[in-house]
Structure 1
């Protein structure tokens, strides 16, 4: 009887681990899906995408530099074809890896540890960025990025997605009209905005996006910056979830 109970709990434990692994994969896929959602909606509005980025980061919960260095050694084994650089000074220890794919996608991994005696902290960062967004890019996001993030992080990961684009506004529509039309496509509710003659920056919440931040009053998971160069000229756009992390 005792052996049956032990076997039962062992089976339950294995199933639990498998469920955590599968749920972690699903969570990562959902976070990556935000970038694909941005692409799909912007392309439906005939917006030309000329830049995109996916940024993931996580706090590494350890106070021992030796643990961080062991993790980096494992990462070097997982990513042997990347270029690795390790450096340190009196305040920090860091490892940086980078590579550029044949499709021109730039990737980097950064592990940064502060060397303070009272409260040392370590952060791990992964970033992928490119220019054109093609079918191969979508496959890369769905498959390669999901696998790499599983190898790098432990599970409590924060994601940021950004896209740069251009709107060839032949209809000479006003800037507020353009912003509202894009927000409508995201089914987004505006939280706050900054409006100038040739520039509008808007924070909003969209039910179509998984990421989110809590402000003092509302949730937000979408930032949009649109700049008009003049009537008949191209209008530039940057959109990010949950916030914009690139210059615009």
Structure 2
């Protein structure tokens, strides 16, 4: 059974990530694919198995700009699959494209409030490392520069598993990751079957301000429901996928 304390902690973490992702300040992340590759190499160095790679980006627009953006994207993404709009969900435009395991999605959504603004949301996911590396090297920067007017921050995440139990991962794999990043712990949520940590490392160029400090990497660890092992999700500057 999952304790109510754990459920409340998870709700707080996911809500914080969602708010920051949608409404936080934009910062330029420099070479935007580097953080994902750094996370990948770091986890492989401690014998973790990565099962998914993800990038998430968003840019705020006015309603007028969003209409122009939708028209441009429909032309620019002519070889993508354009999905029907869903005005009940304030979705103005959605297009998806898949190549191998690499899946891209562009969505324009409205906040649906008086004097509302809109957001262009761009995500990339993959389940094959070589395909993701090839996409980052050949296609990501071009897609990013055409989809967005400015240079919005890129949120990067990986998820997968360690073969060891949670209590073994904490002093071993997690400790080595933090040491390799030269990261300073900022906040910790610890339960019997779950552990979440936020930290700051100079190796990650972008960051977010917390009420009392600054952070730019987040780790979520959860005991596998069946068999030995520990599932992980790691993101910079925060985790933007459910864990």
TM-score by length of 1: 0.78
- Tell me if the contact between 2:29 and 2:153 (Cα under 8 Å) persists in the aligned partners: no
1:69 aligns with 2:63: no
Question: How far did residue 145 of structure 1 move?
Answer: 1.1
Task: Give 1:89 shift.
Answer: 3.5
Conservation of the 8 A alpha-carbon contact between 2:91 and 2:107:
no
Aligned length: 214
Q: What CA RMSD, in Å, does the superposition of the two structures yield over aligned residues?
A: 2.3
- Aligned equivalent of 1:239: 234
Give the corresponding residue for 2:117.
121
Query: Structure 2 matches for 1:211-230, cutoff 5 A?
Result: 211-229=206-224
- Which aligned segments of 4 or more residues in structure 1 are displaced greater than 3 angstroms? 88-93
Q: Aligned pair in 2 of structure 1 residues 68, 227: CA closer, same or farther (>3 Å)?
A: closer
Q: Which runs of 5+ in 1 are unaligned?
A: 1-26
- Following the alignment from structure 2 to structure 1, what is the Cα–Cα distance between the partners of residues 92 and 71? 13
Q: Please give the alpha-carbon distance, in whole angstroms, between the structure 2 residues aligned to 1:207 and 1:192.
A: 17
- Counterparts of 1:90 and 1:107 in 2: how far apart (Å)? 23
- Provide the rounded CA distance (Å) in 2 between the counterparts of 1:91 and 1:197: 37
Question: In the alignment, which residue of structure 1 is the partner of 2:129?
Answer: 133
Structural mapping, 1:23-172, within 5 Å: 27=28, 30-60=31-61, 62-64=62-64, 67-87=65-85, 89=87, 92=90, 94-101=92-99, 103-114=100-111, 116=113, 118-134=114-130, 136-169=131-164
- Normalising by the residue count of structure 2, what TM-score does the alignment of the two structures yield? 0.80
What does residue 11 of structure 1 align with?
A: none
In structure 1, distance between residues paired with 2:164 and 2:137: 32
Structure number with larger C-alpha Rg: 1
Relative distance call for 1:84 and 1:207 in structure 2 (3 A) is same
2-structure distance, mates of 1:84, 1:30: 29
Distance 1:228 1:37 in 2: 24
Aligned equivalents of 2:79 and 2:89: distance in 1? 29
